[in-house]
A and B are shown apart, each in its own frame.
Chain A
């Protein structure tokens, strides 16, 4: 390396030479050690992180996922324009909500009437295939949201309707009558509007502006059908 320094010469006196011209004259002498350790500053931290998710207790893992799901529930209940749902999407929340809704909506096995309420599988299929269809629709219209992000948003926004289902179930324990029906109707309508507002807050920005209504209308239809199933639920 000393040779290289000599060969670069004085920039002021000699004619300007191209950069690094003397590089080819460098020879590495035998006594310069070129072995050693290359340490990455973050290495130890990454190692710790890796082993920690493997070795941590099951409770920690479950609590971490539950906290993530709970955080997203809060975002749905108080919809603001944030992209937490979009950035770290997960499908646990939609699964929990869909199973809860389907369990509460299914007709009892005792009731073998042909035209009763939906079966468990029917609710499940409507929710998941409805969400997939809406996602495909918005992608075909030219939206720039990914498939699973859209499924995540649509699934999480069923939360207000699941709350409405719980409330309706409680109200149905009381005496049947017109007031009973009015209360249920009011609750379902409010929760339906809440679902639409929440999902629109997350999904509307991903569509081109002249097609927003085309992309939002199927969401409206989807939540309308789920609200209808909740409203017409009659315990046998």
Chain B
């Protein structure tokens, strides 16, 4: 029935744009507050443009919001539970948002809605670390099929390396970025910096696109591998840049350019480093043992094992 459709709660494009532009506003949905269900109120903290008669209501609502925002202390379990307060559909929506970055859409404002979660970054990093180790090992298996002289081994230490690298990247780089943005806070008027967790969240979700890319790197065609890598890097870096752009555009041009290019460069370093470490290009491996064999006297010929030089 049309009447029922009108009464149902619809997400409006203008509302989300409004929220994205005014970062101090907070939408209060019916489930969080004591307001009746389905009632959406946009509350502007600092000097809203609403009429005077609504100010009394607003002050009540802001007081309510501030009371609710008192989080439990960091030593309680409830504090950490607030970072895992997401549903399956929300996580899937955030992943979709990181896969399809659009120039106007800021990941933090549109998808996170000021409620960052730690579930996504943690499990995306864990999945990526294991997928890297597993597919790296698989390429060795496939290479051995084509060339039986290559020695196969499970290479279990790569799991440790992958895990440490990715987790350090997702925690230390956002820490540096957050610190830098806070330091430059004075220069900006309109938009406040993101919280540390939001930065970690953006980085974590932006790494999702590498998971299918790493699986596709199993195809042993070099130019295809570089193509997929470039595509994934472009998508991932675009998410980061579109998220950071509203924050840095008020800064001086030099600082903005340097910051964005550093972010993209670090991301590219991670991608290229992973490609070279876990998917060692096979021609090098294939050529090295014969060279080694020919230069040594026959008595000291070693069986062809993966060279230790790159580890």
Contacts and interface: CB of A to CB of B under 8 A. Distances in A.
A221 interface: yes
A51 B158 CA distance: 55
B123 interface: yes
Nearest to A233: B154
Contacts of B311: 114-115
B95 to A, nearest CB: 12
Contact of A115 (B85, B126, B156): B156
Nearest to B84: A140
Nearest to A214: B88
B81 to A, nearest CB: 5
A122 interface: yes
Given A141-B119, A214-B91, A232 B154 contact: yes
Nearest to B156: A118
B62 to A, nearest CB: 28
A56 interface: no
A140 B137 contact: no
A115 B157 contact: yes
A113 B89 contact: no
B180 interface: no
A232 B81 CA distance: 37
Given A225-B130, A228-B134, A115 B306 contact: yes
B218 interface: no
A122 B160 CA distance: 10
A42 interface: no
B155 A214 contact: no
Contacts of A224: 130
Contacts of B126: 218, 221
Given A116-B156, A118-B156, A234-B152, A213 B127 contact: no
A137 B126 CA distance: 13
Contacts of B153: 113, 115-117, 234
A115 to B, nearest CB: 4
Interface bracket on A: 20 to 34
A221 B127 contact: yes
Contacts of B123: 137, 217-218, 221
A169 to B, nearest CB: 15
Given A114-B308, A213-B88, A224-B130, A140 B157 contact: no
A217 B154 CA distance: 25
Nearest to B151: A113
Nearest to B89: A210
Contacts of B137: 232
The residue among B80, B89, B126, B306 with the most chain A CB atoms within 10 A of its own CB is B126
Nearest to B80: A140
A226 to B, nearest CB: 11
A221 B129 CA distance: 11
Contact of A117 (B88, B127, B154): B154
Nearest to A236: B153
B87 interface: yes
A113 B305 contact: yes
A9 interface: no
B236 to A, nearest CB: 21
A142 interface: yes
Interface string B117-153: 0010001001100100010010000000000000011
Given A116-B154, A224-B130, 6 more contacts: A114-B157, A115-B153, A115-B156, A116-B153, A141-B119, A228-B130
Interface of B: 77, 80-81, 83-89, 91, 119, 123, 126-127, 130, 134, 137, 152-158, 305-306, 308, 311
Interface of A: 113-119, 122, 137, 139-142, 210-214, 217-218, 221, 224-225, 228-229, 232-234
15 contacts: A114-B311, A115-B156, A115-B158, A116-B154, A116-B156, A117-B153, A137-B84, A140-B81, A140-B83, A210-B88, A211-B87, A213-B88, A214-B88, A225-B130, A234-B153
Going nearest first, the 5 A-B pairs with the smallest beta carbon separation are A140-B84, A115-B155, A232-B154, A118-B156, A210-B87
